Copies of this chain bind each other. A is one copy, B any other.
Amino acid sequence: MQTLSTLDPDFQKKFTRLVNARRETDEDVAGRVSAILTAVKSRGDHALVEYSQRFDSYTLALDEDWVITPERCKEAYDGLDTELRDALDLAAKRIRSYHEAQLPSDRDYTDEAGVRLGSIWRPVDAAGLYVPGGRAAYPSSLLMNAIPARVAGVERLVVVTPTPRGDSNPTVLAAAHIAGIDEIWRVGGAHALGALAYGTERIKPVDVITGPGNAYVAEAKRQLYGVVGIDMVAGPSEILVIADGENDPDWIAADLLSQAEHDPTSQSILITDDAGFGSLVADCVRLQLNQLSTAKTAQESWEANGAVIVVNDLESEAPALANRLAAEHVELAIDNPEAMLPLIKHAGSVFLGRMTPEAIGDYVAGPNHVLPTGRRARFSSGLSVLDFMKRTSFLGLDDASFAAIGPAAATLAHAEGLPAHARSVELRSK
């Protein structure tokens, strides 16, 4: 963990280093992923059988080895303890409600030249969701990926997930039941993404693939971008907490640790105008670390990537620093967060006020928790129903509107050296 102060004459240099520090691992998996995708494209299910055996020690032999049925998911749901089931149901309901209001509107109008113009939004036919196996199998991620697709109107929702030695996570299956997943295939890794993109004998191809995964999964998505739509390149999680000295340091410490516990490459940064409060928070982080089952990961992250930045004045200094960091999550633990919100230009999601810890947004608030990382909030957005839809524009001319705007089209076509373009207009002008 490092402490910076804007009073330090070297602050700009140090802060720029913090902004530009690369936390994404450059594991060189491109070649291996490319070979796996090629194998799946050419050998289909046979390749899936081989890779599942090799990577997951799982044999895809009989039909029932390939899929987890909706009935099995329903059983998992029914088997949850009531508190957890209610929490999942509440989360799903709130996520659905928030995303329903994202549905875009179509347009259809005739302009003053008499040209009919418009656009129509439609869902993709099929979406594939990657669900990691093992430790990173999060039911909340399944809801956050599947519900926007369902709200968008996607007809076929497919999950691929590795089941090492046959194991699957019952809470994830319960979430699949809630989200109404149509197919769950027991395949994971880069080969599962190849199957979703190219299709195999058993698995029909999809149009869009979303969901988190390891370096192989991320690289496979990157390589398949263009064959299918993908959500985004995801990197390590981040939180930036902007807090004055009036906060309980224990609360803020817990917020910082809630990102740090995700991964050693996660990053937690506090900006405060109260140096003493900053020290208190750092002390609380150390104390709380001892009580966490995730202490090893959280400590590694905090020590390598954590930072406390002390500024003179929060209002005038914090937004500019936040915009350079363009963090995935930004908490405004201050008296008047509404006043600062418009100044935070680059952020995945903003959490307003002292009673809004980031974890609320991870689970039950409603907005999506799949958010841009690695400063990508400068140009990209969290997952939404739009990631599962596409827009078709349309136009229609009659004789009068053609006479009004057609000649200009022919003029421009000639200027660009495209005579057939011009002719298609000129023939109709006669």
Q: Within the complex, which residue of B104, B207, B248, B350 is in contact with A394, where a contact is CB–CB below 8 Å?
A: B350
- Encode A183-216 as 1/0 by CB contact (under 8 A) with B: 0000000000000000000000001100000000
With an 8 Å Cβ cutoff, the count of chain A residues facing the other chain is: 125
Which of chain B's residues have a CB closer than 8 A to the CB of A410? Answer: 359
Q: A156 on the interface (CB 8 Å rule)?
A: no
Near B by CB (< 8 A), chain A positions 211-248 give 222, 225-226, 228-229, 232-233, 248
Q: Is the CB of A395 within 8 A of B84?
A: no
The answer on a CB contact under 8 Å between B392 and A348 is: yes
Contact status B293-A419, CB under 8 Å: yes
**Cβ-neighbour of A408 out of B91, B258, B291 (below 8 A):** B91
Assembled-state Cα–Cα distance A26/B118 (Å): 35
Q: Which residues from B are CB-within-8-Å of A135?
A: 417
Question: Any chain B CB within 8 A of the CB of A6?
Answer: no
CB atoms of B87 and A261 under 8 A apart:
no
A397 touches B (CB below 8 Å):
yes
In the assembly, how many copies of this chain are there? 2
Contact A409 to B356, CB < 8 A, known contacts A350-B393, A418-B294, A421-B261: no
B222 touches A359 (CB 8 A): no
Give min CB distance, A154 to chain B, whole Å: 11
Q: Which residues of B have CB within 8 Å of A55?
A: none
Mark A340-377 against chain B: 1 for CB-CB distance below 8 A, else 0.
01101111111111011111111111111001101011
Stretch in A43-51, A93-101, A157-165 with 4+ CB within 8 Å of B: A93-101
* A69-77, A249-257, A274-282, A310-318: which lies at the interface: A249-257
A376 to B84 alpha-carbon distance, docked (Å)? 40
A151 in the interface, Cβ–Cβ < 8 Å?
no
Q: Which of A11-19, A59-67, A422-430 contacts B (4 or more CB under 8 A)?
A: A422-430
C-alpha spacing A84/B413, complex, angstroms: 10
A171 an interface residue at 8 Å Cβ cutoff?
yes
Query: Do the beta carbons of A254 and B377 come within 8 Å of each other?
Result: no
Contact check, B115 vs A294: say whether CB atoms are below 8 A apart: no
**Which one of B115, B406, B419 contacts A292 once the chains associate, using CB atoms below 8 Å?**
B419
The answer to whether A382 and B377 touch (CB under 8 A), given A101-B107, A119-B367, A367-B117, is no
Query: What's the least CB distance linking A106 to chain B, in Å?
Result: 11
* A309 part of interface (Cβ distance < 8 Å): no
Q: Contacts A360-B395, A419-B261, A427-B251 given; indicate if A115 touches B412 (C-beta within 8 A).
A: no
CA–CA, A228 and B357, complex, Å = 29
* A406 near B360: Cβ-Cβ < 8 Å: yes
Most B Cβ at <10 Å: residue of A120, A372, A411: A411
- Across the A-B interface, the 10 shortest Cβ-Cβ residue pairs: A352-B396, A229-B379, A226-B233, A367-B393, A257-B420, A254-B424, A87-B408, A381-B391, A357-B424, A359-B421
Contacts beyond the supplied A261-B419, A368-B393, A377-B392: 12 A-B pairs with Cβ under 8 Å: A91-B408, A117-B366, A125-B345, A226-B233, A226-B374, A257-B424, A356-B402, A359-B410, A360-B409, A363-B409, A365-B405, A366-B395
Pairs across A and B, CB under 8 Å, 28 listed? A84-B412, A84-B415, A90-B408, A101-B107, A115-B365, A117-B365, A117-B366, A138-B416, A222-B225, A225-B225, A229-B376, A258-B418, A261-B418, A261-B421, A288-B420, A351-B396, A352-B395, A353-B396, A355-B402, A359-B424, A360-B402, A360-B405, A360-B409, A360-B425, A362-B409, A362-B413, A364-B412, A367-B395
